[in-house]
Amino acid sequence: MTDRRPRGSSALLRVALVLFVAGFIAIAAIFLVPAVGGNEPPLWLYLTAMIAAPLGFVLALVFALFSGRRAR
């Protein structure tokens, strides 16, 4: 049998995982920065958490939908 998945599909999954993990690390850092340093987390950390985690999740959903088999 032939593999009908496009070549870029595994790349899409890797990008989705990297973005999601980066967002998750940013979320953890938002809680750790005040606990360790006593300062407010920087704006770029909030923006990374708000953009990277949801975007990675959505890209993973897109990968799952496109890589699934079609019903016959």
- N-terminal to C-terminal alpha carbon distance within the chain: 16
Q: Which residues contact 13 (CB under 8 A, 6 or more apart)?
A: 60, 63
pLDDT of residue 9: 66
Q: Which amino acid is it at 67?
A: S
Measured CA to CA, the distance from residue 6 to residue 45 in angstroms comes to: 34
Structure tokens at 63: 């990968």
pLDDT tens digit sequence for 2-50: 555 555 568 889 999 999 999 999 999 999 988 888 788 899 999 999 9
pLDDT higher than threshold 90 for residue 71: no
pLDDT of residue 66: 86
